[in-house]
Chain A
């Protein structure tokens, strides 16, 4: 286990050290201590390493991740795992706004609650939230899965495209062009697999699926008021 004290070596040096790890590195386990809410921790990783952050993080932790697994033992600030391409990010606490925004791939697991705009503009990422999510989540989501074991806030899935949204609890309101959908066997399978990967014990049958009604896919002047 390699231990990096962020307070003593600084952000730039820490990220440089992690970026220097090749795909074939033997140093696969890293621990970052004293994060103290700093921004851009473990950003832009591109190696199959496992980084554990011991404490809460600021903006954009694990942004643009490829291949790596990042565990945050605390709460995460805005934009965590933003634009993730692959790999896995696990937040043991709560996540602030924009968690997993614009993600193309990989898995983001939030063990606590996520704030507003979780999975905004998601493009293939899978997000599993054990608690609740805030308003405007999955806004303009294009593909991927958002799984919420708790409740969702206002305007879920506003203007979303092909993303699948699964919510076990209440949805305060649905956004424009988002509707309740049928849970077919293939959706139960997807959900079962994601919950398993996230290590969360929940019955897929208890979830409701939401997705795009596809009325706003192409501009139609009759829908102008809904855009």
Chain B
């Protein structure tokens, strides 16, 4: 369904593949390109050809890169997984504990400030934030590289990769951190009104244990659902961050493909992101089972 929709949208959009957008091409050259790419066939025929080949593991040849689509995407997937993984780790490490602490003491100084920061984190445009971080931490204070994934030549080992990762991962993590913070805070805050919280307090369970053991576990179930939305977003939607930091990931590849109307590449990227959605759903279910024993009995 996703592939049919994507195929239809791409082909019905105005314009066409950018390889045909050069006004200098002669009619004969244009016709030869159309013939070579199979764009003269009716849309149902083009789709049938694509789906038949895709079922055999052949995603076609990218117009833009003149290379197999599967290989082009495979080149980028590890970079995206590294960036998305780092951003997710960062977001979990910052957003969840902060949300739990803020939710346990709503209205406090920490809560008020954290809420302001989280609102800003959701509202700030990623593009602007990325450029600001580059200007501050790469231009004014030359601590981190302004872009790329490794040093230009031969890479620089693990530390070099980590240095290249910090600014883009921080940029990408900001919105997710803010969302995780708000969900964690809301869940823990709701927990304070629940019967189990009052009973536990009456039984003399220490507050610290109540927050970090019981309330945090309660929050994890909700956070698993939030993560299931965040994961595909991080994999497929990191396009802006990847563009600003010249990070060769799948998000950027998807945008390049869409702008160039590179049909095979768009279809390939969509397929991979769709798989990420399915995978995220499975991981969410497993995470919730691990976090809440009641679900295992159900």
- A and B: real partners? no
Binding site for B on A (CB under 8 A): none
Binding site for A on B (CB under 8 A): none
